[in-house]
Each structure stands twice: as C-alpha cells, then as structure tokens.
C-alpha cells in the first residue's frame, strides 16, 4: 500500500488540463472534464491500490471527481441522482427495510442515503478495496463520505461474492435490501456480474427482500442488460429494470436491475409514503420519479418485456438454476 | 453560396480523428465523437452558409453527424429519441391535429415524424437556412431527410418570428400543433427564445392547439428553463416541461416546453390511442413514455411546480403580457 494523498505523475488520461474517459466499453465517444485551472495542481490523489488505479481531481465545474481504472465513478455535483436512485428505489419498494447490505459503495454515498431511513437497524458494507473508503473519507468528506461513523454500520473488506457464499452457508439472518453499487464488469467487480452472484443474493434475502444492482447503460450494453434480466428472471420472483440520468456517465444514462424474492411484489411503486424529513433531504427521487424510472424506451421494453417472470414462474422458482456464464455473452465487453 | 459537398480544410473542432464539442454554454465538459477511421476523409461537408457553419462527418460508431456552429444537432444512431419526443408529445396530446407548423427542423426528421400522422392535412416548415435542408437531403437521405417530398408540405425560408408576425396579421387559419425544433439560443435561433415569439405562437394556434419547443438541458440551463416556463405560464393556458435522454447532447439530456391554448388541456397524457402502424414505426415513444417524460427531478419540480398556470389564470389570460427580455436573464448564455 502507498501513502495516502501522495501525488504521483500526471496520468495518461489527463492532457492539457482535461481528464478524458476513453474506454473500450463505449467505443467512438469520450467525455472530458476540465480540471480546475486546467492545471495538474488539481490532481488530489493518483495511486494504485491492490485492486485498481484510483484518481481524484478537483474539476472546474463538477466538484471533486473520483475515477477508478480510468472510469468516472462520481462527480460531487451530480452524484445525488445515481445514489438516490439506486438506494431509494429498493428501500421505498420495501415495506419496512431493517437489514441492508451494500455491495461495493466504498465512496460512502449509498451508505449516506441508506442511513436516511430510520427503519434500518443494521447496515453491512462489503467493499473489496479499503483504499477507496480511505480516499473518500479524505477527498469527499463533506459530500459522499458523511455516514461512515453511523452506529448501524459494519464494514467488511472482502469480495462480495465470497462474502455472500460464506454467509449463505451459515445461519445468519438475511437481508431486506441488497444494493449492488458496483463498478463496471471489468476489473475487481467482474465476479459481481456472474449469474452465481445473483443466486447468492437471492439466497441471502429475506422473504419480501429486494435487490437493486447497477446494471449499465442501455445505449452501450443492451445485450448485457438483456442477459442479466433474463438470468434474474429465472432466479427471482419479480424483476424490473429502471433507468436514470447521470450527466457524467457514458451517454448520460445508467440503469438498475431490481429483483424481488416473494410473491406479489410490485417493485415499480413505493410501498409506503416518504417521511417529510426524507423528502426534504432529496434532490432527485420522488414517488412519481420512482414509477417513471421503470418506464423504458420502446426498443428496450421490446427486448425485456417478454422476459419478466410471471406468477406461474413463482411456483417453479426453487427448481430453476440460471444458466452459467450468460451475462456477458454477446456483449462488447466479453 | 458555396458548392454543395465541396470539402474544406479540417475545422478546429476536429483533432487527431476526434470531433470535440466545446461550448461556453456547458463549460468544463466536452463530448468527443470519433470520425470513421480517425481520418479527415470522414468529413463529408464543411462550409459556412449565410447563417452558420455547417459540418457533416461520418463517425466511427454513431452514423453521420450534423454539427451547426460547433454544436452537435444529431447523430443518425440516436436522433430518433429527440425527434419522436418533440413530435409525438404534442401530436398525441392533441385530439386531431390537421395543420402543423415546424419551426426550424431543416434536417427533416421532425417532418418525418409528423408525416406519420394520417390526420395531418397541412405541414408548414419554416427553416431560415435552406442550406441545412440541402445538406440533409444529400447526407441524411436515408435517415432524417426522407419526407421532403410529402405532398402536404410547404417549405418557407424565413426567420420564424417574422413569418408568424406577418401571418398573425393576416386572416390565415391557425395551427393545431407548432413544433419549435430550434438550435440553441445563440446564433440564428436567438429570436426564437424571445417571449414575443411565444406570444406569436400562442396567437397562431387554434383553440386546443399545442406548442412543443426545444428547451435546453436542465443541468446546464436551469435558469433559462425557469424563465421560459414562467413567461409561458403568463401566456398559455396549460404549460408543462418534459425531458428525455439524448446520449450525444450535452449531459445526455434535453427538455421541451409544452404549452396549450384553451381550457382543460392535459398535455401529460395522449389524447387518443396510437394506431398500430405508428406504434411499429417508433423506437422510443409509447403512451407510457409520454406521461413519464413529464415526471421531473425534485430539484426542477421545486423550481417549476408553482409556476404552472391554474384554472383561475385562464380567465385572465387574454389580459396578460409576458414581460419582455426575461428568458435569458441570469443565464450562462446571456
């Protein structure tokens, strides 16, 4: 491990005062973000952890920016959209979430959103890379990393697939909500895009429990989304896909797989009213936005609509195994 | 006028085989699109008309791309989202649109969408720059420019504000739907972001008529949107704001002002069922997407919600004048 905060030479993704995101997952396009003052002095952190390259810079217009392996994870100015959506969709679709698992989420922002729910008694955050948490605490101390001292929190530094496999083999109580706040399916998050991980999450849920997983962009990864959706429909009793706007993500769009355990779940509507306190804390999510997030473009609805599990599927669900290795089949990233 | 299709030297927005969109309206960020083969051979057209710089290039991943004054107007791969949204929101919110005015729209794509409605008897397209139409016919002949030979169409090359002022002074019959498919409020479209133009459009509508106007990005221009919305609420009897995803527009998002003339209009729902033929022609728009497009993020709903006209306003609407020069007040672009 290297000393936290030590500045390293200019990374290759920064040139002439601009950071550019070039990635084979979205060929032929790149978003660039200006560094403050177009100066390398705005690079706050630039080191490799055991798992990935971590870069933090102060931008001209977007606040501090966190980049992992060359891919923008968040900017302080717009991160609220992603965090509120991935968190409050499953939390509000559940009637009374008490025990919550966050997979990844080392920047602390999903944790911040989960902590806003008073019903929650226990939060487990399984982040493989402690360095991401350390960096967030130092450079995002007033934005994303404000809830790491919550008394309900337990942090585990482990691959989440291994963690769940061991936990499922034990008698520990299950989760009401699992939020898979992962990076893209290359690098340290690869195991979290495997069908077996979706089976482990299903097993780890209480009855009535809900998973919400970061599930890529419908412009760049429609095959991946279709594969995740199809496999999840074999495993879970209710499966939906939601979408939201994130201006500094590729194509300005990101989607989420929502999947539930138990009969009669409607993931597309809040299961209860929001408290006034929660309403005032949020900038993006509303009850109306919850439902609207699940309305998909016709081209995507045409691909996913027929794959949704039906009530008949529910009877057989214990018998089904998702076919292995199907998520990445036919995808650009495979 | 210069010879159509003649290649000019490499423009400054193209470097190392990438086109980059740098604009003061969205400081600190830029989207870049790769040219096919990263080669200047992929520049298909690069000339200035009487009104603006027109650039067309063949991209590596996005089809042909139309750029006006350095700003991406459309890529062939994703243009359907913008065109279907700006067209079918007002067309489907109207019970029986017969006479349609398209303001701008020289690329032909809104025209293509309007022509899909069998109820339409007359279409007037007022495009200030004939060169854009000529270029579209040559380089977007199989995508956007496929309906210029529709027998219902009349093309007028004039500033739309002047056109409407003259027409309103005459006795010509009004429009059921006006679609203002403008570029940004700098350059030739500036007069189309003036409150007086919104008054002219109101006057030009039949009772029950609906305007839909390109109204910028809620990430970069929230003040402009608030100003347009407030002024329109003084002029029109129903006003709403809709949003959609366009991956190659700034921040991947664009919004539309919808405004209606007459009492009891609900712009947020289709007024009639779609024909099966229309359903099969579209890739983005559905009845569900219509309503979902009007669900706004909390931060924007908080700004716009109280500005909506109420039924009480309807009685007084003829008496009100929108305050002049308010649209651009406080905006980055002013």
For the stretch A235-267, pLDDT in tens is 999 999 999 999 999 999 999 999 999 999 999
Beta bridge partners of A138: none
Which CATH class for the A14-74 domain? mainly beta
- Under an 8 A CB cutoff, do B62 and A248 touch? no
Of A33, A250, A288, the CB nearest to B29: A33
Residues of chain A with Cβ-Cβ distance to B29 below 8 Å are 31-34, 61-62, 248
Average pLDDT over residues B30-44: 96
CB contact residues (below 8 A), chain A span 241-300, against chain B: 243, 245-253, 282-286, 288-289, 291-292, 295-299
CB neighbours of residue B1 within 10 Å:
10
Cβ <8 Å between B297 and A284 = yes
Note the pLDDT of residue B47. Answer: 96
A61 close to B (CB below 8 A): yes
Q: Do the Cβ atoms of B18 and A30 come within 8 Å?
A: yes
Using one digit for the tens of pLDDT, what is the confidence trace for A81-116? 999 999 999 999 999 999 999 999 999 999 999 999
Residue A144 has pLDDT above 60, yes or no: yes
- CATH 2.30.140.10 domain residues, chain A: 14-74
What average pLDDT score do residues B294-321 get? 76
* Closest Cβ opposite residue A27 in set B61, B288, B292: B61
pLDDT score of A215 more than 90:
yes
CB contact under 8 A, B32 and A32: yes
Sort strands A253-260 and A238-245 into parallel, antiparallel or unpaired.
antiparallel
Q: Mean per-residue pLDDT for B15-25?
A: 91
Contacts of A285 in chain B (CB under 8 A): 298
**What local confidence, expressed as pLDDT, does residue A333 receive?**
40
Which residues on B lie below 8 Å from A246 (Cβ)?
Answer: 252
Distance from CA of A5 to the nearest CA of B (A): 25
pLDDT at B191 over 90: no
Mutation target to probe the B interface, by most B beta carbons within 10 A, among A25, A28, A36, A88 is A28
Q: Residue B82: how many CB atoms within 10 A of its CB?
A: 24
Say whether pLDDT at A332 is over 50: no
**Stretch B49-59: mean pLDDT, rounded?**
97
CATH of B14-73, one of 3.40.50.1820, 2.30.140.10, 3.50.50.60, 3.30.1600.10: 2.30.140.10
Instruction: Please state, in angstroms and as integers, the Cα–Cα distance from residue B211 to each residue in B108, B159, B205, B238, B239, following that order.
Output: 18, 18, 8, 10, 9
A299/B284 touch (CB, cutoff 8 Å), yes or no: yes
CA B244 to chain A, closest CA, distance in angstroms equals 9
**Does the beta-carbon distance from B282 to A289 stay under 8 Å?**
no
- A71: pLDDT strictly greater than 70: yes
Position B9 confidence tier, pLDDT thresholds 50, 70, 90: low
- Alpha carbon distance B257, B239 (integer Å): 7
Distance, CA of A99 to CA of A93 (rounded, Å):
14
The CATH 2.30.140.10 domain(s) of chain B lie at: 14-73
Would you please indicate which residues of B are annotated as catalytic (active-site) residues?
Answer: 181
Flag whether pLDDT at A6 surpasses 90. no
- Residue A59 near chain B (CB below 8 Å): yes
> How far does A137 lie from chain B, in Å, by closest CA?
25
Chain A touched by B24 (CB under 8 Å)? no
State the burial class of residue A73 (Cβ atoms within 10 Å of its Cβ: 0-12, 13-18, 19+). Answer: buried
* pLDDT bucket at A117, cuts 50 / 70 / 90: very high
Does the distance separating the beta carbons of A283 and B59 come in below 8 Å?
Answer: no
ipTM value for the complex: 0.91
Predicted confidence band of residue A314 (pLDDT cuts 50, 70, 90) = low
- The chain A residue lying nearest B85, using CA atoms, is A297
**Token duo for residue A270:** 């809040």
Taking 50 as the threshold, does the pLDDT of residue A322 lie above it? no
- Chain A environment of B286 (Cβ under 8 Å): 295, 298, 301
Catalytic residue among A129, A181, A194, A237: A181
Mean pLDDT of chain A: 91
Q: CA-based diameter of chain B, in Å?
A: 61
- pLDDT over 80 at B318, yes or no: no
Instruction: Read off the pLDDT of each residue in A203-216 and give the average, rounded to a whole number.
Output: 97
> With helix as H, strand as E and coil as C, how does chain B read?
CCCCCCCCCCCCCEECCEEEECCCCCCCEEEEEEEHHHCHHHEEEEEECCCCEEEEEEECCCCEEEEECCEEEEECCCHHHHHHHHHHHHHHHCCCCCEEEEEECCCCHHHHHHHCCCCCCEEEEECCCHHHHHHHHHHCCCCCCCCCCCCCEEEECCCHHHHHHHHHHCCCCCEEEEEEECCCCCHHHHHHHCHHHHHHHHHHEEEEEEEEEECCCCCCCHHHHHHHHHHHHHHCCEEEEEEEECCCCHHHEEEEEEEECCCCCCCCCCCCCCCHHHHHHCCCCCHHHHHHHCCCCHHHHHHHHHHCCCHHHHHHHHHCCCCCCCCCCCCCCC
pLDDT given for residue A8 in this prediction: 59
Poorest-pLDDT segment among A15-24, A127-136, B279-288? A15-24
Q: Do residues B270 and B106 lie in contact, with contact meaning Cβ atoms separated by under 8 Å?
A: no
- Judged by CB atoms closer than 8 Å, whether chains meet at B29 and A28 is answered as no
Q: Which of A29, A59, A61 sits opposite B33 (nearest CB)?
A: A29
Contact A202, A178 (CB under 8 A): no
The CATH classification number of B79-319 equals 3.40.50.150
Check pLDDT > 70 for residue A143.
yes
Contacts of B18 in chain A (CB under 8 A): 30
pLDDT band of residue B308 (cuts 50, 70, 90) is: confident
- The phi, psi pair for B22, rounded to 5°, reads -110, 125
Chain A residues touching residue B287 (CB < 8 angstroms): none
Tell me the CB-side half-sphere exposure of residue A311, using CA atoms within 13 A.
Answer: 3
Q: Write out chain B residues lying below 8 Å of A20, CB-based.
A: 32
Q: Looking at chain B, which residue has its C-alpha nearest residue A290?
A: B295
In chain B, CATH 3.40.50.150 sits at 79-319
Q: Tell me whether residue B130 is exposed, middle or buried, using C-beta atoms within 10 angstroms of its C-beta: 0 to 12, 13 to 18, 19 or more.
A: middle
Of the partner residues A60, A252, A283, the one whose CB lies closest to the CB of residue B253: A252
Q: Which structure tokens are listed for B257?
A: 């002002």
* Averaged pLDDT score across all residues of chain B: 91
pLDDT at A320 over 60: no
Among the listed residues B81, B64, B24, the one whose alpha carbon sits nearest the alpha carbon of residue B284: B81
Rounded to the nearest angstrom, the minimum Cα separation between A18 and chain B is 9
pLDDT at position A1 is 37
Which carries the bigger pLDDT value, residue A216 or residue B3?
Answer: A216
* Identity of the residue in B30, B33, B285 whose CB atom sits nearest the CB atom of A28: B33
pLDDT for position B215: 95
* pLDDT of amino acid A7: 53
Specify the pLDDT at position A134: 98
Q: In whole angstroms, how large is the CA radius of gyration of chain B?
A: 19
On the question of pLDDT at A283 being above 70, the answer is: yes
Tokens standing for B143?
Answer: 């995508």
pLDDT at position B30 is 96
Q: Chain B residue closest to A288 (CA)?
A: B295
């Amino acid at each position: 491990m290297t000393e936290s905060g030590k500045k390293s030479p200019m990374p290759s993704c920064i040139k002439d005062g601009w950071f550019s995101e070039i990635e084979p997952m979205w060929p032929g396009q790149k978003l660039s973000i200006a560094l403050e003052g177009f100066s390398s002095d705005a690079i706050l952190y630039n080191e490799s952890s055991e798992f990935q390259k971590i870069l933090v810079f102060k931008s001209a217009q977007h606040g501090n920016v966190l980049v992992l392996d060359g891919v923008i994870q968040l900017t302080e100015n717009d991160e609220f959209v992603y965090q509120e959506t991935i968190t409050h969709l499953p939390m509000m679709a559940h009637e009374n979430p008490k025990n919550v698992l966050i997979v990844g989420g080392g920047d602390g922002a999903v944790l911040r959103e989960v902590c806003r729910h008073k019903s929650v008694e226990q939060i487990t955050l399984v982040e493989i890379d402690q360095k991401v948490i350390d960096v967030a605490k130092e450079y995002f101390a007033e934005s994303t990393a404000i809830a790491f001292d919550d008394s309900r929190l337990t942090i585990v530094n482990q691959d989440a697939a291994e963690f769940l496999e061991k936990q499922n083999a034990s008698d520990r109580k299950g989760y009401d909500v699992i939020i898979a706040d992962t990076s893209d399916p290359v690098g340290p998050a690869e195991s979290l895009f495997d069908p077996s991980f979706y089976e482990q999450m299903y097993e780890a849920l209480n009855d009535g429990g809900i998973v919400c997983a970061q599930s890529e962009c419908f412009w760049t990864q429609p095959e991946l989304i279709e594969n995740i959706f199809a496999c999840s429909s074999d495993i879970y009793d209710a499966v939906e896909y939601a979408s939201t706007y994130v201006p500094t993500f590729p194509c300005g769009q990101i989607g989420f797989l929502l999947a539930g355990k138990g009969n009669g779940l409607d993931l597309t509507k809040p299961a209860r009213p929001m408290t006034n306190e929660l309403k005032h804390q949020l900038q993006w999510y509303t009850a109306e936005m919850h439902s609207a997030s699940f309305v998909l473009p016709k081209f995507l609805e045409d691909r996913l609509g027929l794959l949704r599990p039906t009530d008949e599927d529910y009877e057989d669900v214990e018998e089904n195994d998702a076919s292995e290795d199907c998520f990445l089949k036919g995808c650009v990233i495979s």
